[in-house]
Structure 1
Amino acid sequence: MKFIKVAAFAALAAASASSFAAKPTSIVFDANNETADGTTFASYYVKCSNGKKKELTAWDGRKKWCVGDAASETCEKKQIKAAKKACKAA
């Protein structure tokens, strides 16, 4: 019986913690850039609800959004999904 209560409390605590994860509050354009090999991309900053600011980069005519700089491997097709990942990692 005690094990069930502990397990239920742990599950509830985990669910509560995820609901308080940082979320994007705004996305701001920073600049158009170019890599050393000539590939163009745009950089943005996402502001998160926890007060942190993370970089996003947009590639292929803003069809691919990546968390971080030009070397990033964490990418999404949609800006908001990339912004959510950035804030979750913040």
Structure 2
Amino acid sequence: MKNKYKKLALGLLFDAFGYASFAFPMLDIVWAPLSAYLMTKMYKGKEGKIAAAITFVEEAMPFLDVIPTFTLMWLYTFVFKKEKETTIEV
């Protein structure tokens, strides 16, 4: 459970860093591939790879930096996916 909230804190930090590229657009050149790499390290498997691709595109494209992809992936992994798994077991 502790790891769950550590991922949330890191995700919020990474999303905030992505927002900084509005002020410094040249950061996207470095941040887009780095954020994709970090996403694959935080979330394993097929879902992590898909999220990394989405993150890369979102960070590389101008004006899409407002999408909090790390936070959305955390919500998907620990809130929505968990609810879906719970309803299947019942």
TM-score, length-scaled by structure 1: 0.29
Q: Rg: which structure is higher?
A: 1
Q: Please state which structure has a larger fraction of its residues in strand.
A: 1
- What's the TM-score once normalised by structure 2's chain length? 0.29
Q: Which has the higher contact order (CA 8 A, sep 6+)?
A: 2
